[in-house]
Amino acid sequence: MIYTGVCAMTKIAILGYGTVGGGVARVLDVNPAQVAASAGEEVALGAILDLREFPGDPHEALVTHDYRTILEDPSITVIAETMGGVKPAYEFTKQALEAGKSVCTSNKELVAKHGPELLKIAAEHHVSYLFEASVGGGIPILRTLAGALKSEQIDEITGILNGTTNYILTKMEQDGAAFDDVLKKAQELGYAERDPSADIEGHDACRKIAILGSLMTGGYVAPDAVPTEGITAITAADLAGARACGMAVKLLGNCRMTGEGLEISVAPYLIAAEHPLASVNGVFNAVAVHGNMLGTSMYYGQGAGRDATASAVVADICEIVRNAGRTVPVSMTEKPAQLAPMGDATRRFFVRVGREHEAEVLEAFAESRTICTEQGEACILTGPVRESEFLEKLGGIAGVRNRIRVLDDED
Amino acid sequence: MIYTGVCAMTKIAILGYGTVGGGVARVLDVNPAQVAASAGEEVALGAILDLREFPGDPHEALVTHDYRTILEDPSITVIAETMGGVKPAYEFTKQALEAGKSVCTSNKELVAKHGPELLKIAAEHHVSYLFEASVGGGIPILRTLAGALKSEQIDEITGILNGTTNYILTKMEQDGAAFDDVLKKAQELGYAERDPSADIEGHDACRKIAILGSLMTGGYVAPDAVPTEGITAITAADLAGARACGMAVKLLGNCRMTGEGLEISVAPYLIAAEHPLASVNGVFNAVAVHGNMLGTSMYYGQGAGRDATASAVVADICEIVRNAGRTVPVSMTEKPAQLAPMGDATRRFFVRVGREHEAEVLEAFAESRTICTEQGEACILTGPVRESEFLEKLGGIAGVRNRIRVLDDED
């Protein structure tokens, strides 16, 4: 395709020239015509902030170590913050917005923690703060919620929001392998970090569902307020038992509107094999949304990866340029969302218990039934029970190896 | 939620008060606050055009039989055309646009046939013509292509675009049932029409992939130019053979950018069980998009149904209102897209053949292998072969029961 120049041009700066930041430069280099068509004018890279030097990099000459040169450059109007972490990204973002520059970011930690404040500052300065890439890398879910689904009452959002844990669960399921072995392999392949706790303990998914919950309510859900369980307790026996139930085990972020407020959590769940999320495997992410008119729709894509995440950052840059001079509205405010206690939820549970205590579990929970028995264990599916009641009763029964929530589809 | 009124208001008219038109009224009735938030102002129903009367309907008083009263009502600025068919929808749409009213529609037949002309008229009159609901009912795929994915080079779009045929293939696969029996059941359930030919012969999916192909190229693909095969030749034996190959059979609309132009088709394809489209079952639709940076993303939802389709029409209404005074850009023009002959494509094929001719097939195509044999038949998977060469050679072999293309993922 031949690219015919347009007169107007927007200059952007990248903060943090790592994986995602480098990807942003690459998208601008590879797709200049598409970016210009989307933004309505040419988008050029004006500066890169990083502590390191990049000898031989095509954009070497744009690298600066001094953030002030970017803040004070009036020709730079949009900033892509791809540093990650809260410090110094929070201060840098604030300073940019206060200087009248729009910011877009892939930084879920910062958005989950300070999103409402940064959005408020952006609005005060008639600029925008967008963060499509912070949830589900290459899945355009925030833009869809803000656009196509905005005339819907969103009842529920459920997502596979972390590629590392989904890869681990998929491999455990497919190969019958143990958690530790798969984790080790994932680390070797670069799918899991050397310190995998943010992924496997659910903190990464927690930040993402907190962002989605905030957008769903139009208020703010602090990540600390989200009950979060990771996948470290899941065993090959759980996955085999789930399969015998006709279900899969997935680490889900879930938020659901109830009469008491927003019920929100991150935890492993059993989901029916027919559920569209059940067949989302490997490092892919997906988000299912239920609207009162639209029913269930689902959005699937790469959860991370340099180019996919960078493409989402660039889509935000284009939206900012298209809307230059005004603040792109984002439905997140400082008002705390009303949360429903998780213990109030009624749902079914999967229980794996030593055979000698099977009868006690079956007796404790109405409509329970044993799905399968193997190697001295029974896998039991309970009937619907209030979570707080379930946990209290289960605490009184010995020999329980694991218990996992069941996501029941209300469609 | 308490709805606090806003001063500005847009009045719309519905043309055709059938399933989708009734759904549009229902979305406006049920979600007024969400619609106002999305549109930026209140959206009210001003008139309904239908030949029938609707005694007892809450909007009975708005029904008119005379289109001129709508065309001549300056307070009505947006029209939802939910009549279907080309006549008189084409004339009505043209008149509305020429009268300075924006139009949105679920009418895939009209868009596939006259979309470029109607878009041109809309632009000339500074109004919009939008048709999100024409492809995949409740899946916001057009808006995603025009927004989040606009900075991508889209290489390929593949979709399950017809719920009726997907329901039939799913049931045949799950129950091992014959095509005719499942079709009869689908008709009883209301999933298939009394005259099912538009669905089962692929014409409905053809219109939708023609629209997607037009948008992908920025030109125009006439539905007549799309090689189209339906599912009437698919048997339970094909599905069993596909399963033995680790694949599923789906009716796909596919368009792929090649060096020769756009390769576009509607046909049953074998796809790998791991492909995200393989697990899209029943009446659901899904569209997978491959972009040069984003990789594969997929969009899944209800393909039809009153409320889902109506929700998509209302999302278009909101976008039109938000952009009042200007034409929302749609990437489809009258310029014919350059199409690559389907016979030039190289792919693998699935062949079901009588055992007595198995050896001939294996010999004719390099890298062929027999996957399974049953009841005197062999299911063979060929190596990659040019389609025109394949068909010519296969024509010379007796005893061929069926041949189905294989969709190979290039990721």
- Which tens digits make up the pLDDT trace of A137-167? 889 999 999 999 999 999 999 999 999 999 9
**Among candidates B30, B143, B292 on the partner chain, residue whose Cβ is nearest the Cβ of A148:** B143
The mean pLDDT value of chain A amounts to: 95
**Domain containing residue A378: CATH number:** 3.30.70.1150
Q: Domain limits at B376?
A: 343-406
- In which band, very low, low, confident or very high, does the pLDDT at B261 lie, cut at 50, 70 and 90? very high
Out of B39, B139, B150, whose CB is closest to A297?
B139
| Of A393-397, B270-274, B301-305, B375-379, minimum mean pLDDT range | B301-305
* Per-residue confidence (pLDDT) for residue A227, from 0 to 100: 97
Query: What is the rounded end-to-end Cα distance, in angstroms, of chain A?
Result: 46
Count other C-beta atoms under 10 Å from residue A123's C-beta.
Answer: 17
CB A310 within 8 A of CB A23: yes
- Chain A stretch 146-185, residues whose beta carbon is closer than 8 A to a beta carbon of chain B: 147-153
Catalytic residue among A113, A208, A250, A393: A208
Cβ-based contacts of A284 with chain B (< 8 Å): 276
- pLDDT of A331 over the 60 cut: yes
pTM listed for this prediction: 0.94
**Cβ <8 Å between A297 and B151:** no
Whichever domain contains A20, its CATH number is 3.40.50.720
* pLDDT surpasses 70 at A5: no
Mean pLDDT of the A171-199 span: 92
How many domains are contained in chain A? 3
Query: Where do we find the tokens 């009716």?
Result: B251
Where do the DSSP E strands lie in A242-310?
A: 247-258, 261-272, 284-291, 295-302
B19 touching A (Cβ < 8 Å): no
Which residues of chain A make contact with B19, given a CB cutoff of 8 A? none
For A273, the closest chain B residue by CA position comes to B279
Distant-in-sequence, close-in-space partners of B201: CB < 8 Å, separation ≥ 6: B228, B230, B232
Q: The tokens of A250 are what?
A: 């997935």
Q: Are residues A70 and A109 in the same domain?
A: yes
The DSSP bridge partners found for residue B80 are B14, B104
Q: Catalytic site residue A150?
A: no
* Helix, strand, or coil (residue A33): helix
| pLDDT score for B342 | 87
Residue with tokens 């369980």: A229
State which residue of chain B sits closest to A32, comparing Cα positions.
B151
Which pLDDT score is estimated for A410? 56
Please check whether residue A241 is in contact with residue A372, taking contact to mean a CB–CB distance below 8 angstroms.
yes
* Residue A57 within a domain: yes
Nearest Cβ partner of A294 from B281, B294, B311? Answer: B311
Q: What is the mean pLDDT of residues B28-46?
A: 97
Rounded percentage of chain A residues whose pLDDT exceeds 90? 92
| φ/ψ (deg, to 5) at B254 | -135, 135
The per-residue pLDDT for B410 is 56
Q: Of A272, A274, A275, A132, nearest to A208 (Cα)?
A: A132
pLDDT band of A327, cuts 50, 70, 90: very high
**H runs (alpha helix) in B245-365:** 306-322, 358-364
Identify the band that residue B1 occupies on the pLDDT scale cut at 50, 70 and 90. Answer: very low
Q: Are residues A259 and A288 in the same domain?
A: yes
Chain A, 248-277: which have a CB under 8 Å from a chain B CB?
274, 276
B336 within some domain: no
State whether A233 and A258 are in the same domain. Answer: yes
B122-132 residue pLDDT tens: 999 999 999 99
Does residue A207 belong to any structural domain of this protein? yes
Q: Rounded mean pLDDT of B22-49?
A: 97
Contact A140 B150 (CB under 8 A): no
**Cβ–Cβ below 8 Å for B138 and A294:** yes
Indicate whether B328 belongs to any domain. no
CA distance A34 to chain B (A): 5
Please indicate, yes or no, whether residues A292 and A213 belong to a single structural domain of this protein: yes
Pairs of CB atoms within 8 A across A/B: 166
In a domain, B84, yes or no: yes
A1 inside domain: no
Alpha-carbon distance A249 to nearest alpha carbon in chain B (angstroms): 17
The pLDDT, as a whole number, for residue B190 is 85
CATH number at residue B347: 3.30.70.1110
**For residue B4, is pLDDT > 90?**
no
User: The CATH number of the domain where B290 resides is what?
Assistant: 3.30.360.10
Q: Tens digit of pLDDT for each residue in B344-391?
A: 999 999 999 999 999 999 999 999 999 999 889 999 999 999 999 999
pLDDT (0 to 100) of residue B136? 86
Please tell me the number of Cα atoms within 13 Å of A344 on its side-chain side: 12
Question: Do B397 and B280 share a structural domain?
Answer: no
Residues of chain B found within 8 Å of residue A143, distances taken between Cβ atoms? 144, 147-148
What's the pLDDT score for residue A408? 83
Cβ distance B300 to A295 less than 8 Å, yes or no, reads no
Judge whether residue A409 has pLDDT over 80: no
A280 in a structural domain: yes
Residue B308 burial (10 A CB sphere; 0-12, 13-18, 19+): buried
Chain A residues close to B281, C-beta within 8 Å:
274
Q: Are residues A219 and A79 in the same domain?
A: no
The reply to whether A167 and A290 lie within a common domain is: yes
Mean pLDDT of chain B, nearest integer = 95
**Sign of the torsion formed by the C-alpha atoms of A344, A350, A352 and A353:** positive
Closest alpha carbon to A20 in A320, A317, A323, A329: A317
- Contacting residues of B for A140, CB less than 8 Å apart: 144, 147-149, 297
Chain A residue numbers touching B292 (CB-CB < 8 A) = 30-31
Task: With a cut of 50, say whether residue A395 has pLDDT above it.
Answer: yes
Q: Is B132 on the interface with A (CB under 8 A)?
A: yes
Specify whether B102 is located in the same domain as B161: no
- Indicate yes or no: CB of A151 within 8 angstroms of CB of B296: no
H helices present in B201-343, as ranges: 203-217, 236-244, 306-322
B287 in the same domain as B159: yes
Judge if B153 and B37 occupy the same domain.
no
Contact B247, B278 (CB under 8 A): yes
CB atoms B294 and A311 under 8 Å: yes
Q: Kindly state whether residues A19 and A116 are assigned to the same domain.
A: yes
What distance in Å separates residue B352's CA from the closest CA in chain A?
Answer: 28
pLDDT given at position B375: 86
B169 close to B249: Cβ distance less than 8 angstroms: yes
Q: What is the pLDDT of residues A335-344, one digit of tens each?
A: 999 999 989 9
Rounded to whole angstroms, the Cα distance separating A364 from A361 reads 5
- Cβ neighbours for A352, distance < 8 A, ≥ 6 positions apart: A237, A238, A241, A377, A378, A379, A380, A400, A401, A402, A403
Q: Which residue has the tokens 């916001």?
A: B140
pLDDT-based confidence at B5, cuts 50/70/90? very low
Q: Measure the CA–CA gap between B67 and B83, rounded to whole angstroms.
A: 13
As a whole-number percent, the residues of chain B with pLDDT over 70 amount to 98
Which of B120, B208, B250, B393 does the annotation list as catalytic? B208
Q: Is the pLDDT at B411 greater than 80, yes or no?
A: no
Q: Within this chain, do residues A209 and A112 fall inside the same structural domain, yes or no?
A: no
CB contact under 8 Å between B315 and A151, yes or no, is: yes
Residue A146 lies in a domain: no
| Predicted local distance difference test score (pLDDT) of residue A136 | 86
Percent of chain A surpassing pLDDT 70: 98
**pLDDT reported for residue B7:** 61
Cβ contacts (< 8 Å) between B219 and chain A: which residues? none
